[in-house]
C-alpha cells in the first residue's frame, strides 16, 4: 500500500434534473476529498448529461462513463446495482467513495474523513468506513429519526477487495465462493446529508414513478406525511454547496401533522423507538460489522 491512500469518488446518474436531485452539489461536495471522480452517466430525457459534461469541462478529476440502462433489469432495483458497479469497477484508487445524487458532504467534515482514511488505511481488518446519516424529511428543517431509516451506512470501501452491490444502497464482500458477508467497518466520524425526501413534490412524484418500475410496484400519489414521533427538528447547518438548491428545489415548509394516521409499519417503529429509549439500543438495519470505533 502507498503511504497516502488514494481515494476515488464515484456515482451513477440518470435524469437527475427531471427527478430534482441536487447532483451537482453532491459531486462538488466530494471533489475536494478525492483524487478522481467516476460517473456512470445514463442516457435520459433531460439535460443531466449536458450539465455533468459542463462540470467535467471545469473539473479535471471528473471522468464520465456513458451508459445505457437496461430497463429489463427491473426486479428489486438490480439496475441500480449494475450502474453502481460500472462506476466502481472503473475506480483506480485504494478506496472508493460512493455518494448518491441526493447525498452531500459538509465542508466542515472533509478533514475528519481524510483523517479516518489515513488512520485505517494500514489496517486490513477495516474494510469500510461508516457514516452517520441525516435523513431530511418534508423540508430542510426536519429529520426522520426512527429505526425505519438507516442511521449509519458504508459509503467508503477498500477498492482492493472483492465487493459487490446487490442494489444501490450497500455492499457485500465476496471473499468466499458464492457467499457474501457484510464488510468489516470503522466509523468515519462524519455525516452524510441525505436530501432525497425534501425535494419539491413534483420532483418527488417523478422519482417515485420511476423507482416503482424497478421495484415492481405502483407509485402512490406523493405527499409528505410521517409519524410526528419519528421526526425531530434539525439544529445544525447545511453544507454551503447545497444552499442554492435548498432555496430553489426543496420544499420550503413542512410541519408534522398531529392527526397523522399511523400505518401498521409506523406503529411497529414507534414500539421500536420505545425499546431504544428504554434500553439504549439501536434497532435500525445495518449492512456492516463494526470492528473499531
Distance CA 156, CA 179 (A): 21
What is the spatial distance between Cα 155 and Cα 213, in angstroms, rounded to a whole number? 25
User: Are 254 and 223 a contacting pair, CB within 8 Å?
Assistant: no
CA angle 40, 192, 135 (to 5 degrees): 105
Q: Where does residue 228 rank: exposed (0-12), middle (13-18), buried (19+ CB within 10 A)?
A: middle
Q: Which CATH number goes with the domain that contains 117?
A: 3.90.550
- 10-residue mean pLDDT series, the chain (293 residues): 84 94 98 98 94 97 94 72 94 97 98 97 96 97 96 96 86 84 96 95 72 57 88 97 96 92 95 95 93 80
DSSP secondary structure, 183-241, as one string: PEEEEEEEEEEEEEESB-HHHHHHHHHHHHHHTTSPPPPP-----GGGEEE--S---GG
C-alpha cell of residue 22: 441536487
Domain span at 175: 1-293
Look up the pTM and report it.
Answer: 0.92
The reported pLDDT for the residue numbered 203 is 74
First-to-last C-alpha distance (Å) of the chain: 23
- Rounded CA separation 122/23 (Å): 32
Cite the DSSP H helix spans in the chain. 23-30, 48-58, 78-89, 110-120, 201-214, 243-249, 264-279
Contact 237, 134 (CB under 8 A): no
| Alpha carbon distance 175, 39 (integer Å) | 26
Q: Which of 94, 74, 106 is nearest to 236 (CA)?
A: 106
The predicted pLDDT at position 266 comes to 95
Question: What is the tally of structural domains in the chain?
Answer: 1
What is the model's pLDDT at position 248?
A: 94
CA distance readout (Å), 151 to 104, 230, 284, 289:
15, 13, 6, 14
The predicted pLDDT at position 168 comes to 76
SS3 state of residue 182: coil
Amino acid at each position: 500500500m502507498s503511504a497516502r491512500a488514494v481515494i476515488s469518488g464515484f456515482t451513477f446518474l440518470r435524469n437527475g434534473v427531471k427527478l430534482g436531485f441536487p447532483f451537482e452539489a453532491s459531486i462538488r461536495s466530494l471533489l475536494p476529498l478525492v483524487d478522481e471522480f467516476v460517473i456512470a452517466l445514463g442516457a435520459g430525457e433531460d439535460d443531466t448529461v449536458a450539465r455533468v459534461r459542463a462540470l467535467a469541462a471545469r473539473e479535471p478529476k471528473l471522468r464520465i462513463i456513458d451508459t445505457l440502462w437496461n430497463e429489463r433489469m427491473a426486479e428489486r432495483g438490480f439496475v441500480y446495482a449494475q450502474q453502481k458497479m460500472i462506476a466502481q469497477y472503473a475506480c483506480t484508487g485504494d478506496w472508493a467513495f460512493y455518494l448518491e445524487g441526493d447525498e452531500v458532504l459538509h465542508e466542515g467534515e472533509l478533514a475528519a474523513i481524510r483523517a479516518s482514511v489515513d488512520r485505517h488505511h494500514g489496517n486490513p481488518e477495516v474494510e469500510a468506513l461508516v457514516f452517520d446519516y441525516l435523513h431530511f424529511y418534508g423540508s430542510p428543517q426536519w429529520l426522520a429519526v426512527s429505526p425505519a431509516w438507516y442511521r449509519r451506512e458504508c459509503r467508503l470501501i477498500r477498492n482492493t477487495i472483492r465487493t459487490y452491490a446487490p442494489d444501490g444502497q450497500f455492499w457485500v464482500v465476496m471473499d468466499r465462493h458464492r457467499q457474501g458477508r457484510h464488510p468489516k467497518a470503522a466509523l468515519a466520524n462524519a455525516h452524510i446529508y441525505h436530501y432525497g425526501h425534501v425535494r419539491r413534490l413534483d420532483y418527488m412524484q417523478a422519482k417515485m414513478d420511476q423507482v416503482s418500475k424497478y421495484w415492481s410496484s405502483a407509485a402512490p400519489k406523493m405527499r409528505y406525511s410521517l409519524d410526528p414521533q419519528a421526526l425531530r427538528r434539525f439544529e445544525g447547518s447545511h453544507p454551503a454547496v447545497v444552499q442554492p438548491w435548498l432555496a430553489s428545489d426543496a420544499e420550503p415548509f413542512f410541519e408534522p401533522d398531529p392527526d397523522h394516521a399511523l400505518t401498521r409499519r409506523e406503529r411497529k417503529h414507534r414500539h421500536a423507538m420505545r425499546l431504544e429509549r428504554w434500553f439504549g439500543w439501536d434497532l435500525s438495519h445495518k449492512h456492516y460489522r463494526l470492528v473499531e470505533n
